[in-house]
Amino acid sequence: MKHEAISVFDMFKIGVGPSSSHTLGPWRAAQSFTRSLEEKKLLEEVISLEVLLYGSLAKTGVGHGTDIAVQLGLSGDDPVTFEVNDIDAKIADIKAMNRILLAGRHEIEFTPTDDIEFLVTESLPFHPNALTFLVQFKNGETLAETYYSVGGGFVVKEGETSGNFMEVDLPFPINTSDELLHWCRSTGLSIHEVVMENELAWRNESTTRAGILNIWHVMKECIFRGSHAEGYLPGGLNVKRRAAALNKKLTAGKTYSDYDSWVKEIRSGGSHFNYILDWVSCFALAVNEENASFGRVVTAPTNGAAGVIPAVLQYFVLFCNGDDENKIVDFLLTASEVGSIFKKGATISAAMGGCQAEIGVSSAMAAAALTESLGGTQRQALMAAEIAMEHHLGMTCDPIGGLVQIPCIERNTMGAIKAITASQLAMQSTPDFARVTLDSVIKTMWDTALDMNSKYKETADGGLAVNVPISLSEC
């Protein structure tokens, strides 16, 4: 059986909200398409370009900023480094001029309202998140390339395999939790140590550690920024940000000037249950309010679920003596491996599996990482992941107005709290007596995804999206 090699930096990607599959994926697909034109020395031969969005991308693409992401990707901008405050101006400029600079160097006529088509009644068989780029060249010839955004910012080009099989020779190839546990038992290594050994197939340990700490830096900056940003989220639903108000209430009478002094004040507030619960909710709300505002976030493993792991990790750092770089690196290594097992055995795409594939997976990742970080065994960590997912099974994705706001933002707080609860349960349990394994719950999640009605898979065609009477005139 082939083993798909997935790195920690595949599961955790720095990007821009609001959606990994509907924003980051299409952005990357557009970048990939222009690169392919450059490699074929055809970029400067292009005279016209049309983008076709299918399925879930078409139905919720406006709310998820798919059209914006595609234009930025075609322009040669990168989601990791592009200044998010410049997005509106860049898109307005393309619209005003009806022209786009492909890959930042070849200008053609381009009218977004005409040249980006939302084919809401059409889907392609491989995956609901599909987009096709059609170009015409100066000599009259045409070219079409189709890409699929398969969740978590992963992109597959039509005709290519889904993932990079055997690109590297991993010392511990893993597809299932049983295989992960086998390597832990046979080597005596913890989960994070097994993962680090695999990461050495790509790069040296110091580079991996530096990259993971940068991931954490982006996460905590996002938490801090979101905890102090007030106002309403974009998109027309008039959803008011809540993290800043909650932060202000919890820090009343305290003074601070930056992230470090902020967390010092948070710690000084004590450790009673309600206080910690409020802070975990605040952290998760902060990240996903930033995500909904086209802010810079870490896909963990998706943008819609980007607040769960940062909130649980921040909880570990502030309230569980986890403020240590080694512990933070280990936490994210363990979380990434659990996420990769879900991706291989099921899906991390809401368009394929509903919200269980996003919030559910992120909660399982956080639960396993927290458990091992608190001293739990490998089996207890995997048990925690199983518990977290078991209680997300069947969760639908029904975003109101196609926006990553309701119910997505609150669901991140629930996913974070469930992860902590799952960890506590696993730490107080003996895995020998567990009747459900992580692999069995992953299979069940996938079976559930296959049975789930398509209207509950990120289409805004069912559930809250059709039962909440809110004016969407501006969406």
In this structure, are 147 and 268 located in the same domain? no
Give 68's Cβ-side CA count (13 Å radius): 23
Note whether residue 345 is domain-resident: yes
The encoded tokens of residue 175 equal 């597809």
Which runs of E-coded beta strand occur in 152-290? 154-157
Note whether residue 172 is domain-resident: no
Determine the pLDDT at residue 164. Answer: 42
Last residue of a domain, one of 95, 123, 157: 157
Determine the pLDDT at residue 4. Answer: 82
In this structure, are 112 and 226 located in the same domain? no
Q: Which amino acid is it at 338?
A: V
In this structure, are 327 and 462 located in the same domain? yes
Determine the pLDDT at residue 163. Answer: 47
Note whether residue 12 is domain-resident: no
Report the alpha-carbon distance of residue 166 to residue 5 in Å, rounded: 7
Note whether residue 272 is domain-resident: yes
Q: Are 412 and 310 within 8 A, CB to CB?
A: no
Determine the pLDDT at residue 30. Answer: 97
Determine the pLDDT at residue 473. Answer: 45
Q: 264: part of which helix (H) or strand (E)?
A: helix 259-267
In this structure, are 146 and 189 located in the same domain? no
Note whether residue 365 is domain-resident: yes
User: Could you give the 3-state DSSP secondary structure of residue 458?
Assistant: coil
In this structure, are 246 and 126 located in the same domain? no
Query: Which stretches of the chain drop beneath a pLDDT of 50?
Result: 163-166, 472-475
In this structure, are 182 and 150 located in the same domain? no
Last residue of a domain, one of 97, 127, 157: 157
Note whether residue 163 is domain-resident: no
In this structure, are 87 and 197 located in the same domain? no
Determine the pLDDT at residue 154. Answer: 92
In this structure, are 254 and 298 located in the same domain? yes
Give Cα separations from 17 to 84, 133, 273 (angstroms): 10, 22, 31
Determine the pLDDT at residue 384. Answer: 98
Question: In angstroms, how far is CA 14 from the centroid of its own chain?
Answer: 9
Q: How many domains does the chain have?
A: 2
In this structure, are 98 and 189 located in the same domain? no
Q: 3-state SS of 67-80?
A: HHHHHHHHCCCCCC
Q: What's 129's domain CATH number? A: 3.30.1330.90
In this structure, are 190 and 136 located in the same domain? no
What is the number of other CB atoms lying within 10 angstroms of the CB of residue 418?
A: 24
362-406 residue pLDDT tens: 999 999 999 999 999 999 999 999 999 999 999 999 999 999 999
Note whether residue 170 is domain-resident: no
Note whether residue 206 is domain-resident: yes
Question: In angstroms, how far is CA 337 from the centroid of its own chain?
Answer: 15
Determine the pLDDT at residue 162. Answer: 52
Last residue of a domain, one of 157, 191, 209: 157
The domain in which residue 267 lies consists of: 177-467
Closest CA relative to residue 7, chosen from 218, 167, 214: 167
Determine the pLDDT at residue 474. Answer: 43
Determine the pLDDT at residue 323. Answer: 96
Determine the pLDDT at residue 161. Answer: 62
Report the alpha-carbon distance of residue 295 to residue 164 in Å, rounded: 29
